[in-house]
Amino acid sequence: MLPDADGFEICKYLKKQEKYAQIPVVMLTAKADETDKVLGLELGADDYVTKPFSTRELIARVKAVLRRKVQKEEEKIVIGDILTIDLKRFEVVVEKRKVELTSTEFKILQLLSSKQGWVFSRDNILQYLWGHEKTVVDRTVDVHVRHLREKLGKAAYLVKNIRGVGYKIEA
C-alpha cells in the first residue's frame, strides 16, 4: 500500500539481491488478513506488524529482529564482497579460495572484524590473544599481521595499519 510500489514486491526484490538480502525487514501495514501476514513472512520479512500498534511494541519488535540478526552474523562475517570468515568452522575464504591461517592469525582477524572500522591498539590485540599469560613485545602483533596479510592475498588491503596506534579492518 505504498504510493509508488507494493511492499510485498519491494521485500521480494530486497531479499533476492545479494547486497540487500541480509538487511532485516519489518513490514508495517494496515493489511491484517492472515494471508497477507503469511505472504509477507514467506517473502522474507523478518516481522510483520499491523496497525494499530504502539511505539513501545514496534521498538521491542525491531530490537528482537536485530538480536536475531546479530546471532546469525556471529556465524559468518563477510567483508567487502571478497572476504568471508566462518567463526564456527574457523575458516577464511578469499574470493572462493580457502585460506589456511594459524590460530593467532585467525584470532586477530576475528577481533578486527568484530567491530569493523574500529581501531585496535597493539596492546588491545595482545590482551585479546594472550591476556597476561605471556610476556611479548607489541611488535609481535606486527609480525602476525604481516603474515595474515600475505595469506589474505587480494583481501590484504582490508587490514589497515593506523600508524602509531594499531590496526583496523575496513571494506
pLDDT in tens, 48-65: 999 999 999 999 999 888
What domains can be seen in the chain, in order of their start residue? 7-73 (3.40.50.2300), 76-169 (1.10.10.10)
- What is the pLDDT averaged over residues 66-93? 82
Q: Rounded CA gap, 169 and 171, in Å?
A: 7
Q: Tell me which DSSP letter residue 158 carries.
A: G
Q: Rounded CA gap, 117 and 53, in Å?
A: 36
pTM (2 decimals)? 0.58
Q: Rounded CA gap, 116 and 148, in Å?
A: 17
Confidence of residue 23 (pLDDT cuts 50, 70, 90): confident
Say yes or no to pLDDT of 73 above 60: no
Q: Rounded CA gap, 146 and 152, in Å?
A: 10
Per-residue pLDDT tens for 29-54?
Answer: 999 999 999 998 988 899 999 999 99
pLDDT at 70: 62
